[in-house]
Structure 1
Amino acid sequence: MSELLSAGEGGRIERTVLPGGIRIITETIPGLQSETVGVWVGSGSRHESDVAAGSTHFLEHMLFKGTATRSPRDIARGLERTGGDSNAVTSKEYTCYYARCLVSDLDAVGDLLWDMVLRSTLDEAEFGRERGVIVEELAMAADDPTDQLFEDFEELAFAGQPLGRPVGATREQIRVLEHGVLREHYEDAYAGPGLVFAAAGGASHAEVVDQVAAHIAGTGAAQALVTGAERGSTAGAASTRGAGSGGTRSGSTASPAVFTPGLHVRERATEQQGIILGTAGLHEGHEDRFVHLVLSNLLGGGMASRLFQRVREEHGLAYSVHTVLSQYSDAGLFGVYAGCAPGSSDQVLELVGEELIGIADRAPGEDEVDDVVSQLAGGTVLGLESTAVRMNRIARHELTGMPLLSAEALIDRVRSVTPEEVRAHAEGLLAQKWALAAVGPRGDLRMPSLG
């Protein structure tokens, strides 16, 4: 039975649940010849136990390494021959395997994606070879000071908690990860209730549902999916609609995250000092998220933002300075990033504090807020012209249970934000405890005064 979630000029969004618990959600956009599709798994790195650390990201690699009927080369050729884009992404709360293709190629691409997800051989020899690849990938990220800085900041902000761990784990953890642990993770997480198929483009919902049902039947995995549904205490707990990330994965329960303030300075021989000053933000579905977004963009969301104008244009202290937002199902982070000469770090932090205090003390003008609102409204409309953005939006709705708002409703919510709400929100953020992470030559940085 299909459920109509919304229908308008932009597209028609429908949802179907197959036997075994797999959910299909589509947005049909008449007239398009392309389709973006993704198989989503309601499992991320925060759901891993300590012994399984890195297994979510490792599985992302392994699912391209062969199935019962396709070699790794067959998979690569099958995805590339359509002329579209294909890849996978692992986050702290989900994993996605996606492709963009012509509607006429949807059946072949969908069959390939489901074969990867449901029939991966997880060959032990391939596992051994890929271990080296992943260790090198992590080494490459560690060589990038900006990547290291963002990892340090989240590890500091969620200290000792699963949400604070790097998505890919550490090189040491990957070197000792066992093949049997990886397989157990796969059997636990890649089960019916944890799987969502999302598609946006020219194909009809009925067409997509028929194809997915046929692909699953063709893999011979239907009974395994039903068995997975019966393991609801593990794979299904975090994946049923609206449950967010509170369930179990590989023996770990993802408890609600709690922000931890502090200071983490990593000394490194770089030309610039990278800094992130931040505090607890809002979770993904928070009712004040639109005020939060307006404040973030007003402070550091573009060339007209206060930080860009003050730090870069007036003082010439940084090439890159902007706000950063991280939003999860139960927690979030709000911060400011800057890359500057080591000797300028203290002044940059002082200017950031002054701008935050300035907004908290005095509401921004109507014109300034209207400019930010217009920027966000335009970005929303332009973004929704991408089938990839639409596919991501409906998939995240299905995984988190967040209300699925139309573009018009999103714009109305942003336009309803007032200058006084922005001021009060800034005041609330300033009253919280803050954290500072830095990577660069300076080892003596200290928290700026925000009072």
Structure 2
Amino acid sequence: MPGLASETIGIWVAAGSRDESAETAGSTHFLEHMLFKGTGSRDAKTIAAAFDRTGGDSNAITAKELTCYYSRCLVTDLPNITGLLVDMVSNSQLDVEEFERERGVIIEELAMSADDPGDVLFDDFDSLVFGSHSLARPVGATKDQIRVLGHHTVIDHYQSTYIPPRLVIAAAGGATHEEVLAMVDDALAEAGLGSRADVWSGAGNGVHGAGPVGTGDSNGGAASVAKGSHLAGAARVRPDFQAGVSHTVKDIEQLGILLGCEGLPEGDDDRFIYSVMLTMLGGGMSSRLFQSVREERGLAYAVNCVASQFTDTGTFGIYAGCTAENAQAVVDLAVSEWDRLAQETPSQFELDEIVSQLSGSMVLGLESSAARMNRLARSEIFGLPLESPMDLIERVRSVTAEDVSEMAGRLLSRPKALALVGPAAEVELP
């Protein structure tokens, strides 16, 4: 991204909470915390000070299929930050005393999430639709699971998942491709892993002494790791979608509603049709749901479509927050608008408006180095083509009004689930 003085770099691990068992639940998120607690050459305070010194944004995220450690910094700080991230990921000490202190911090974090009705709603929906599958569990597990999670369990998780070919380094910003590769070389050597060529060939020490590490780059691939092969070691079983209704009663003012069905998996061939349909139905202030539920009838403040996508499945949902008295009307109206989109082909004018909205958001989003870094990594991990912004726009423009109606009907015909969080209310699936 010529002209930028900053760079966003991330080390991604193709492993998340989905890759845990009931006994190891919480290990992925716990490990994300622990990697900031010290390596053989840096203690926790040194790591924190090194990130703060850049004046940028540094953090980590744990998801159901991915973990990422990232930093946005000045290009001049990138060599130090690259070395720091590689050291954290490859040489974490996982000290037992730090582990016990962090256990309390994570329990507090989970307690904070439990106080957020939105977090509870989305966790409840996943629990409802995925049943006994590992995707049903919250990313951070439960407080009871964290209280009994063993130190050795997290170490085992670290040694079994933070290994090639699950690891990808992605970067976007003002540094050149060659500069980033040189920085990665230096960071690997500093961390005691050998040169990039040594590590890829298996001649170096490797991460935890376990073979080559894949380094994703701005040219879209790793030297010895086939694109999309990073999930090859993940023993993942596709879940069956479970229909039904769940209600967590909370003494709050609004009732959170999430109505949905099985959606599309990551990289599905119809993902551009899916995006257009999501946006048309509930993707902004001009969307059908927003206009019908909020503007015309005043039944809710917030109403929109949501989607999650995984390697082999996904969920589609309609979210709304309203009073308990309005809940059934909101659910009925949401299904009615969904059905109308399935039954009546939208006008070319409406389709053109949505295509314009999506095209603009795509291009604007790609002006962010963090978004570019994220896109590079996900393309590498999931084996998706890395298309140019103009190619993406053309894919969106190729969607027809008939495609949108067909997609809405396809989803509408699937079994549905309804999750509710808030005051007691009688709400049924239409």
Above 0.5 in TM-score? yes
Select 2:10's aligned residue among 31, 38, 62. Answer: 38
Counting aligned pairs with the same residue, the percent is 52
| Alignment deviations for residues 357-416 of structure 1 (CA, whole Å, 9 cap, x no partner) | 111111111111111110000000100110000000001011111111111111001011
Select 1:328's aligned residue among 310, 314, 324. Answer: 310
Is the partner of 1:169 in helix, strand or coil?
coil
Is the partner of 1:229 in helix, strand or coil?
coil
Is the partner of 2:319 in helix, strand or coil?
strand
Is 1:90 matched up with 2:62?
yes
Select 1:214's aligned residue among 186, 209, 216. Answer: 186
* Structure 1 residue aligned with 2:127: 155
Quick one: which amino acid aligns to residue 94 of structure 1? L
Is the partner of 1:89 in helix, strand or coil?
strand
Is 1:417 matched up with 2:399?
yes
* Structure 1 residue aligned with 2:78: 106
Go from structure 1 to structure 2 and tell me whether the alpha carbon gap of 1:244 and 1:266 turns closer, same or farther (over 3 Å shift). farther
State the alpha-carbon separation in 2 of the partners of residues 339 and 41 from structure 1: 35
Shift of 1:83: 1.1
| Alignment deviations for residues 418-450 of structure 1 (CA, whole Å, 9 cap, x no partner) | 1111111111111111000001112532112xx
State the alpha-carbon separation in 2 of the partners of residues 95 and 226 from structure 1: 18
Are the equivalent residues in 2 in contact too, given 1:301–1:322 (CA < 8 A)? Answer: yes
State the alpha-carbon separation in 2 of the partners of residues 372 and 91 from structure 1: 29
Question: Gaps spanning 5+ residues in structure 2: where?
Answer: 194-203, 215-224
| Alignment deviations for residues 253-288 of structure 1 (CA, whole Å, 9 cap, x no partner) | 321232211111111211011110000110111111
* Structure 2 residue aligned with 1:22: none
* Structure 1 residue aligned with 2:387: 405
Is the partner of 2:346 in helix, strand or coil?
coil
* Structure 1 residue aligned with 2:259: 277
Is the partner of 2:60 in helix, strand or coil?
strand
State the alpha-carbon separation in 2 of the partners of residues 262 and 245 from structure 1: 31
Select 1:73's aligned residue among 45, 55, 59. Answer: 45
Is 1:135 matched up with 2:107?
yes
Shift of 1:241: 3.3
| Alignment deviations for residues 201-252 of structure 1 (CA, whole Å, 9 cap, x no partner) | 12122221122122112111341338423899xxxxxx9632464633xxxx
Higher alpha-carbon deviation: 172-181 or 434-443 = 434-443
Are the equivalent residues in 1 in contact too, given 2:164–2:213 (CA < 8 A)? Answer: no
State the alpha-carbon separation in 2 of the partners of residues 258 and 394 from structure 1: 30
* Structure 1 residue aligned with 2:246: 264
* Structure 2 residue aligned with 1:53: 25
Is the partner of 2:264 in helix, strand or coil?
coil
**With structure 1 as the length reference, what TM-score do the two structures score?**
0.88
State the alpha-carbon separation in 2 of the partners of residues 443 and 45 from structure 1: 32
Is the partner of 1:333 in helix, strand or coil?
strand
Select 1:429's aligned residue among 411, 415, 421. Answer: 411
* Structure 2 residue aligned with 1:386: 368
* Structure 2 residue aligned with 1:247: 233
State the alpha-carbon separation in 2 of the partners of residues 183 and 324 from structure 1: 35
Quick one: which amino acid aligns to residue 257 of structure 2? I
* Structure 1 residue aligned with 2:271: 289
State the alpha-carbon separation in 1 of the partners of residues 271 and 165 from structure 2: 29
State the alpha-carbon separation in 2 of the partners of residues 45 and 168 from structure 1: 8
State the alpha-carbon separation in 2 of the partners of residues 378 and 230 from structure 1: 40
Is the partner of 2:406 in helix, strand or coil?
helix
RMSD: 1.6
* Structure 2 residue aligned with 1:12: none
| Alignment deviations for residues 142-170 of structure 1 (CA, whole Å, 9 cap, x no partner) | 01111100100011111111111110001
Is the partner of 2:211 in helix, strand or coil?
helix
Select 1:171's aligned residue among 109, 118, 143. Answer: 143
Quick one: which amino acid aligns to residue 54 of structure 1? G
State the alpha-carbon separation in 1 of the partners of residues 9 and 377 from structure 2: 10
Higher alpha-carbon deviation: 223-232 or 316-325 = 223-232
Quick one: which amino acid aligns to residue 414 of structure 1? V
Quick one: which amino acid aligns to residue 87 of structure 2? D
State the alpha-carbon separation in 1 of the partners of residues 94 and 140 from structure 2: 18
State the alpha-carbon separation in 2 of the partners of residues 122 and 321 from structure 1: 43
* Structure 2 residue aligned with 1:340: 322
State the alpha-carbon separation in 2 of the partners of residues 172 and 88 from structure 1: 23
